[in-house]
Amino acid sequence: VLASLVASLPGDASASKPDSAVDLVALYKRIYKSFIEHIDGMDNGIEARDGKKNYEVPTTLSSRISALNPRWNEPGDSAEINRRFVAAMSLVGEELSEAVDFAVNSWWPARSLVAAAMDGASDVHPSRQILILSRACPWQSHLF
């Protein structure tokens, strides 16, 4: 499924897209951590933090989906519930498409810039603890 989503995304024709099994696993892990995991946790009642809850997150994908349910004092016949379910699926589909698009067309291309900086780190300093990126990019999540 992920491979077909990646292939269908618009993007720079000269940029490579992840297509090998290893690439798709890395991309899947990124999308799971940045998009799916918190929805899954919230849906299953798992708190994001242990201990005292310091603040409320007023809007999340889960809360927007929940808001599509009929209120306790609204009619909730099968047709209306189905209509709202379709709206919820559409909302999640758009959010997922945007998350995959970002991962493929922004996060993934940054990976090669970070790898190149890591490869050249010994030229910058013998400790290899200083990286110089060829341009600004989302680098933090690529250091592991």
pLDDT at 37: 79
Query: How much is the pLDDT for 78?
Result: 93
Q: Is 46 left (phi over 0), alpha (psi -120 to 50) or beta?
A: beta
Question: Hey, which of 20-29, 43-52, 117-126 has the most confident mean pLDDT?
Answer: 117-126
Contact 104, 9 (CB under 8 A): yes
Per-residue pLDDT reduced to its tens digit, 39-97: 777 777 777 777 765 555 557 898 899 999 998 888 889 999 999 999 999 999 999 99
Both structure tokens of 9: 């995304």
